[in-house]
Structure 1
Amino acid sequence: MVQVNLLLSGQEQFMMASTEGNPEWPAFPARLMALPAVNDACGLASHLYQRSKEYRQVGVALAAAENSFKTAVTKAAPLAEPLLRYAGHLKPLDDWACRRLDDVERMVPVVTKPSSEVRQ
């Protein structure tokens, strides 16, 4: 089963293929997004993207790009499904990335603090 969530029109926050039976894998993207600075930066980028679409010419161009992307993902998703059987081979990479993130959080604890505290 392939689940595709799109970063389009402010609907979803990410695009991810998930495997059946293990909703916690991959863990690294969720852990990275849980860092306040990363989450705030993505929120700001999304806000600026939405504001940019308010300008007519920009909005038309972005709508066309979004529609093209939606079409491409819709067509590609079934083709990617056979690749999911190899997803288990990426688990060691996910584990390694999570360990490196643990190291960063331990060495630079400020990354886990809310942005409002860091600015002060």
Structure 2
Amino acid sequence: MSTTIQQNAASGTATNSSGYRTLWRWHFYAGLFVMPFLVVLAITGTLYCFQPQIEPLLYPQLLVVESRTAPRMPADALLARARAAMPTGSVAVTTVVPDTPERSMEFIFRLADGEKQSVYVNPYNA
């Protein structure tokens, strides 16, 4: 009678062990499938997080100006100059006021077709 109980216990352990291995094998394959997506999300999220530090390096001709001792022009005059560069029917939506003297002023316009476009203006000489 004791041999029957031992055989049943041994066969139950083998069944649990194979199910356990199958479960972890599928978990491993799922991890290999999902890992590239997580890596892409991590990289793009990091780039988005450091966007204010990266953009002046990518677009120095638009975002960086020489800081001068002359006072900045009034925002209304800069907006008028930016509006003159846009097609008719465009509406100024947002103004990004620079926090440092070597940054240009950005005006974001909504065009007649609904797209948004930015205009960068030198705050010292427009």
Same fold (TM over 0.5): no
Which structure carries more strand by proportion? Answer: 2
Q: Computing the radius of gyration over CA atoms, which structure comes out larger, 1 or 2?
A: 2
Choose between structure 1 and 2 for higher RCO, CA contacts under 8 A separated by at least 6 residues. 1
> TM-score by structure 1 length?
0.26
> TM-score by structure 2 length?
0.25
